[in-house]
């Protein structure tokens, strides 16, 4: 359950009880998936709860809205403050935060005049668990960037993610791996991919994937740790020949991949670059940071 009788959410400028809030069944977002959202995590640090890269997430929310022409009149800085108040009001420390921008009632396909914003938060453990994942390459590819705005976090895009997840689970795997429409490695249904070969990390370049904020953090950490990372277009055979691999995302954090379609990675997770970065990531999110670090937006 994501809320109880005491849970408070933020809705259009006000904090309201979750179980008293309502929305319109004729919302364009509900019918057509035309809305944008974010997924953010807050962590307990020695200086209290900090929302990790909060501003970067709200800037991406604004950019997502702009990319699909949804009017967005909110200040990302203000939403950062709202999120901190929301966590305090709900007495949450380690939490997942979900902002959603959704449209007014409108049964046409024309651009909406007004939108609403809601932000809710709840305690959420590791999204993909803590065991290394067994992946399968999905029969679904990521949507072509000329069909949608792939770099935006749009509600409707997640039908693709849900179909790939369902297929993977039905086949007995933990999670899917999606290729792009040209057959290059893309990403997971809700996470970005990295793999290691001969001491170098590789990750799909931006263009056909969501520009993950965790991906950006991993790139920062790799630089700090002196790990070489190459971004580019990679074929599935390069992943199958890799030494180790991992997924990263706000909900999933950094999680090792054991195998893809039963091909196991030879390097033990404990010895991999992924494990180093997993440790560095767990440390980074709990460091009490200066705002400049928390809000760094290197994408």
Sites of contact with ligand PMP (CB under 6 A): 39, 161, 187, 190-192, 210, 212-215, 249-250
Q: Please check whether residue 215 is in contact with residue 192, taking contact to mean a CB–CB distance below 8 angstroms.
A: yes
Task: Rank residues 210 and 273 by Cβ distance to ligand PMP and give the closer one.
Answer: 210
Q: Please check whether residue 137 is in contact with residue 177, taking contact to mean a CB–CB distance below 8 angstroms.
A: yes
Task: Rank residues 8 and 257 by Cβ distance to ligand PMP and give the closer one.
Answer: 257
Alpha-helix residue ranges (DSSP H) falling in 24-126: 28-32, 54-67, 76-89
Token pair listed for 154: 């749009």
Specify the residue for token string 């990390």: 201
Task: Rank residues 8 and 254 by Cβ distance to ligand PMP and give the closer one.
Answer: 254
The residues, ordered by sequence, that sit 6+ positions from 209 with a Cβ below 8 Å of its Cβ are: 142, 150, 151, 180, 186, 187, 192
Token pair listed for 73: 């009149």
Residue 2 C-beta: closest distance to ligand PMP, Å:
18
Residue 188 C-beta: closest distance to ligand PMP, Å:
6
d(CA 60, CA 54): 10
Q: Which of 149, 153, 197, 267 is labelled catalytic?
A: 153
Task: Rank residues 97 and 213 by Cβ distance to ligand PMP and give the closer one.
Answer: 213
153 is catalytic: yes
To 10 degrees, what angle do helices 273-285 and 213-224 make?
Answer: 110
d(CA 77, CA 73): 12
From the list 21, 19, 53, 20, the residue with the least C-alpha distance to 39 is 53
Task: Rank residues 243 and 253 by Cβ distance to ligand PMP and give the closer one.
Answer: 253
Residue 22 C-beta: closest distance to ligand PMP, Å:
27
What is the set of active-site residues?
153
């Amino acid at each position: 359950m994501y809320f109880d009788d005491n849970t408070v959410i933020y809705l259009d400028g006000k904090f309201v009880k979750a179980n008293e809030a309502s929305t319109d069944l004729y919302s364009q977002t509900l019918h057509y998936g035309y809305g944008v959202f974010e997924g953010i995590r807050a962590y307990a640090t020695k200086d209290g709860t900090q929302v990790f890269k909060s501003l970067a997430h709200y800037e991406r929310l604004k950019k997502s809205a702009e990319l699909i022409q949804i009017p967005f009149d909110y200040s990302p800085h203000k939403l950062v403050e709202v999120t901190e108040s929301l966590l305090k009001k709900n007495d949450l420390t380690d939490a997942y935060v979900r902002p959603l921008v959704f449209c007014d009632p409108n049964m046409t396909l024309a651009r909406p005049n007004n939108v609403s914003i809601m932000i809710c938060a709840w305690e959420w453990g590791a999204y993909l668990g803590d065991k290394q994942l067994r992946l399968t390459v999905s029969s679904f590819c990521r949507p072509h960037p000329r069909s949608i705005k792939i770099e935006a976090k749009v509600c409707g895009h997640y039908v693709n993610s849900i179909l790939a997840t369902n297929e993977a689970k039905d086949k007995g795997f933990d999670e899917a791996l999606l290729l792009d429409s040209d057959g290059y490695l893309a990403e997971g249904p809700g996470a970005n991919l990295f793999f290691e070969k001969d001491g170098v990390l590789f990750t799909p370049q931006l263009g056909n994937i969501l520009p993950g904020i965790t991906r950006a953090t991993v790139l920062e950490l790799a630089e700090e740790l002196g790990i070489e990372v190459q971004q580019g277009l990679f074929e599935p055979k390069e992943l199958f020949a890799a030494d180790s691999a991992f997924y990263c995302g706000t909900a999933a954090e950094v999680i090792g991949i054991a195998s893809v379609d039963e091909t196991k990675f030879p390097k033990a997770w404990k010895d991999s670059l992924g494990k180093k970065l997993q440790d560095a990531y767990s440390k980074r999110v709990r460091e009490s940071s200066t705002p400049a670090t928390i809000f760094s937006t290197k994408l």
